[in-house]
């Protein structure tokens, strides 16, 4: 499901624990968000996470159950 930055920000706050998967459906690393999400020029929603520089796709982040709502 494609999620916009507005949808992500309305469901999850900065500091939400997520599993970030650099390759979608691949092995992930547990981290947490360190910014609100924003959209790139072509419309992809990205968010900053601890341990990575720059924005990562919200589509590659799975919210850990019990932290900020249901999984993406």
User: Predicted confidence band at 70 (pLDDT cuts at 50, 70, 90)?
Assistant: very low
CB 4 within 8 A of CB 57: no
Indicate if the alpha-carbon torsion angle 41, 4, 14, 62 is positive or negative: negative
pLDDT exceeds 70 at position 6: yes
Query: What are the boundaries of each domain within the chain?
Result: 5-63
Q: What is the pLDDT of residues 14-66, one digit of tens each?
A: 999 999 998 867 789 999 999 999 999 998 999 999 999 999 999 999 999 77
Longest Cα separation, the chain: 32
User: Predicted confidence band at 67 (pLDDT cuts at 50, 70, 90)?
Assistant: low
| pLDDT score for 1 | 57
């Amino acid at each position: 499901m494609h999620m916009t930055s507005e949808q992500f920000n309305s469901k999850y706050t900065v500091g939400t624990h997520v599993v970030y998967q650099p390759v979608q459906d691949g092995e992930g690393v547990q981290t947490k968000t360190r910014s609100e999400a924003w959209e790139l020029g072509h419309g992809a929603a990205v968010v900053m996470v601890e341990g990575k520089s720059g924005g990562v796709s919200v589509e590659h982040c799975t919210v850990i159950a019990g932290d900020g709502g249901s999984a993406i």
